[in-house]
């Protein structure tokens, strides 16, 4: 079987002077919020920029299938074997550091690592009285993913508060791009891993407020999630993008899709744009519900639902 053979590139990778840990045949189930997925030939817990600058050119040189992930909260991982490298950012990529600016344009700034949890970022802004990004409390991902996908909720989007992004190309070179030089739109940016640009950290400028107000907004966002979404079941968050002027959840609910089951997966009875793992769901179960939802909504509303969730596939070689 192909997944029993040792890839030619693996020996060279094991000789590369990395601080980061390499793991072979690693199950990807615990690296995504759906708790679904097969094994990866190699998973690297990338702990610093120096290691990333060695890994990306190595991947490019050897033309290895690869993917980068944080918490895997917007990702469907097939149950099949992954033949390449999964880069899982950790270590120094979890940093959070307020910047002390002297001018008004430099106030309320913080630099956050790409692997920092969105929830942690939102919570740390409370004590500083920095507002605007409280919506991150309900997004179970990382800052890198939030920037790459322009994550948002409750009328706010990540790009509104981004001042600068640091990213690495496939040659291992670091770049700093101001917000105005980057393209962002609804659930999209040009800083996505499959474009060969890996976010390492980002600088945000928050709104000046007070801790009480920020905490109040944070708790309201958190309460909304608990009341409206199946927060206590494995899911990827929103499966589909909202079409212009409408909501994917409304279209799905009006099409009678709420509660529909395939194997161990179910379109949530609580929120139709969430597909949950009721236990033992396979990637095929999830994909079947996705296909059913798209077909049914098109039949009933003549609208093609676009996926918000990503499906694991090989990124460009660079």
What is the CATH classification number for the domain harbouring 66? Answer: 3.30.43.10
Q: For residues 70 and 116, which has the higher predicted lDDT (pLDDT)? A: 116
pTM for the structure as a whole: 0.90
Whether residue 97 lies in the annotated active site? no
- Pairing, β 21-27 against β 39-46: antiparallel
pLDDT number for residue 188 = 87
Does residue 3 sit within a domain? no
Closest alpha carbon to 217 in 138, 305, 141: 138
Q: For the chain, what is the domain count? A: 3
Does residue 137 sit within a domain? yes
pLDDT number for residue 103 = 61
Checking if the pLDDT of 193 tops 90, the result is no
Q: Are residues 69 and 171 in the same domain?
A: no
Does residue 2 sit within a domain? no
The average pLDDT across 111-140 equals 94
pLDDT number for residue 104 = 58
CA dihedral over 28, 29, 34, 37, signed as positive or negative: positive
pLDDT interval class at 139 (50, 70, 90): confident
Q: Are residues 239 and 117 in the same domain?
A: no
Which of 98-112, 151-165, 216-230 comes out lowest in average pLDDT? 98-112
Domain boundary (162, 197, 227) is at: 227
> Which tokens hold the place of 248?
């994917």
pLDDT number for residue 155 = 83
Domain that holds residue 127: 95-227
- Around 313, how many Cα atoms within 13 Å sit in the side-chain half-sphere? 6
Q: Are residues 88 and 103 in the same domain?
A: no
For residues 156 and 257, give the distance between their C-alpha atoms in angstroms, rounded to a whole number.
28
Q: Are residues 66 and 31 in the same domain?
A: yes
Whether residue 294 lies in the annotated active site? no
Whether residue 187 lies in the annotated active site? yes
Q: Are residues 164 and 79 in the same domain?
A: no
Q: Percent of the chain beyond pLDDT 70?
A: 95
Does residue 126 sit within a domain? yes
Counting Cβ atoms within 10 Å, is residue 212 exposed (0-12), middle (13-18) or buried (19+)? exposed
Closest alpha carbon to 122 in 112, 140, 113, 135: 135
pLDDT interval class at 313 (50, 70, 90): confident
Q: Which of 35, 179, 187, 294 is the catalytic position?
A: 187
Q: Which CATH number is 270's domain given?
A: 3.90.78.10
Which of 14-23, 99-108, 129-138 comes out lowest in average pLDDT? 99-108
pLDDT interval class at 225 (50, 70, 90): confident
Does residue 28 sit within a domain? yes
Q: Which of 73, 189, 238, 283 is the catalytic position?
A: 238
Checking if the pLDDT of 227 tops 50, the result is yes
Q: Are residues 189 and 209 in the same domain?
A: yes
Domain boundary (51, 74, 92) is at: 92
Domain boundary (42, 66, 92) is at: 92
Which of 4-13, 52-61, 95-104 comes out lowest in average pLDDT? 95-104
From the DSSP assignment, how many helices (H) and strands (E) are in the chain? 7, 20
Q: Which of 26, 164, 166, 308 is the catalytic position?
A: 308
């Amino acid at each position: 079987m192909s997944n029993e053979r040792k890839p030619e590139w693996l020996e060279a990778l094991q000789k590369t002077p990395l601080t980061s840990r390499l793991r072979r045949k690693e199950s990807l189930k615990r690296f995504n919020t759906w708790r679904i997925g097969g094994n990866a030939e190699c998973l690297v817990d990338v702990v610093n920029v120096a290691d990333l600058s060695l890994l990306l050119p190595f991947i490019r040189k050897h033309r290895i299938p690869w993917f980068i992930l944080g918490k895997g909260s917007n990702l469907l991982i097939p149950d099949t074997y992954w033949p390449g490298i999964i880069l899982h950012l950790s270590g120094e990529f979890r940093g959070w550091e307020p910047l002390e600016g002297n001018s008004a344009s430099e106030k309320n700034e913080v630099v956050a690592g790409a692997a920092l949890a969105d929830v942690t970022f939102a919570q740390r802004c409370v004590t500083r009285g920095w507002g605007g990004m409280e919506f991150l409390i309900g997004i179970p991902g990382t800052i890198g993913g939030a920037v790459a996908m322009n994550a948002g909720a409750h009328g706010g989007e990540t790009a509104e508060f981004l001042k600068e992004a640091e990213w690495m190309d496939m040659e291992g070179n670091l770049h700093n791009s101001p917000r105005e030089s980057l393209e962002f739109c609804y659930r999209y940016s040009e800083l996505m891993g499959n474009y060969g640009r890996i976010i390492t950290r980002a600088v945000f400028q928050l709104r000046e407020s007070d801790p009480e107000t920020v905490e109040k907004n944070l708790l309201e966002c958190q309460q909304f999630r608990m009341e409206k979404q199946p927060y206590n079941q494995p899911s990827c968050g929103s499966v589909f993008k909202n079409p212009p002027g409408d909501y994917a959840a409304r279209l799905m609910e009006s099409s009678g899709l709420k509660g529909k089951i395939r194997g161990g997966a179910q379109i949530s009875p609580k929120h139709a744009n969430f597909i949950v793992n009721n236990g033992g769901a396979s990637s095929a179960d999830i994909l079947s519900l996705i296909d059913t939802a798209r077909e049914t909504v098109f039949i009933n509303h003549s609208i093609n639902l676009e996926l918000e969730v990503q499906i694991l596939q090989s990124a460009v070689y660079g």
